[in-house]
Structure 1
Amino acid sequence: MRYLVPAVILLLSACATAPETETPMPTLPVTPSTHVYSSVLGLTSAELIAQLGSPALQVREGVGLKMQFRRPQCIFDAYLYPPPSGQGVTRVAHSDARLPSGADTDQAACISAIRATR
């Protein structure tokens, strides 16, 4: 019995596969997205709140900030990042709009719906 445990361990270790090596992903600079609705591009968090009301969710993601606004019609996410220098106020650099089902929707229509129900 004393030799059974080491034998089982050796048997199981023979079945193990070598770990895969990961290729590091290149780091890309944060630049404004071309998919940002122009009425929110460059806004600060205070300006965004002034236009859309209080966000339902705010999440810090590294140096960025995600602000989510929800209405029954749609969900709007705005992603704010500091300038490339790393110093200064965070501003909207990217945004997404989707239906509650998760399907993409028109950002302008979503923002209009959010403004209308403030």
Structure 2
Amino acid sequence: MIKSLLPLTVTALLLAGCVSAPEVRAPARQPAPVERTAASFPPRPAPAPIRGLDGVIGKDANAIKRLFGEPRLDVVEVYGRKLQFVGKPCILDAFLYPERKGGREVVTYVDARRSDGAAVDRAACIEALQRR
């Protein structure tokens, strides 16, 4: 019986030599916590006025109504307001948002288009609506 176990034992030893030892890894180190402080960013500079829009951007609703008359639409939204003025040459949407929390609403953006939806130069639309 020992003679029959000998080939099995030799085969087992040979196979055992082929198996490598498990790799030993050092425990993963946690990086030291980084203290984060509030970044102090410089105040955002006001955007450069776009020629032709400077008479509208930054104005409140009353000033815009004095320029263009009563709006066709006056849509009050959750955080702002949209006034729409219509003339033969174009449709102008003026978007008003508070200057700061609790501040007065002023025009921050305007969009202009023709009645068929094609884009129009915003400054040209403002000028055309003021002339009527």
In structure 2, the CA distance between the partners of 1:64 and 1:115, relative to structure 1 (3 Å rule), is same
Q: Percent identity?
A: 36
**Pairing partner for 1:91 from 106, 111, 125:** 106
- The separation in 1 between residues aligned to 2:81 and 2:66, in whole angstroms, is 17
- Superposition map of 1:55-70 within 5 A: 55-70=71-86
Which string of whole-angstrom CA distances, capped at 9 and with x for unpartnered residues, describes residues 60-102 of structure 1? Answer: 1112010000012100000000123x11210001110111111
Aligned residues of 1:33 and 1:93 also touching (Cα < 8 A): no
* 1:108 to 2:126 alignment: no
Q: Gapped runs of 5+ residues in structure 2?
A: 1-45
Q: Gapped runs of 5+ residues in structure 1?
A: 1-31
- The separation in 2 between residues aligned to 1:103 and 1:34, in whole angstroms, is 26
- The separation in 1 between residues aligned to 2:77 and 2:104, in whole angstroms, is 15
* 1:71 to 2:99 alignment: no
Q: Which of structures 1 and 2 has the bigger CA Rg?
A: 2
Aligned residue in 2 for 1:41: 57
Q: Taking structure 1 as the reference length, what is the TM-score of the superposition?
A: 0.65
In structure 2, the CA distance between the partners of 1:105 and 1:58, relative to structure 1 (3 Å rule), is same
Runs of 4+ in structure 1 over 4 Å off: 32-36
**Aligned-residue CA RMSD (Å):** 2.0
Report deviation, 1:51.
1.0
Structure with the bigger RCO (C-alpha within 8 Å, sep 6+) is 1
Q: How many residues align?
A: 85
Aligned residues of 1:35 and 1:94 also touching (Cα < 8 A): no
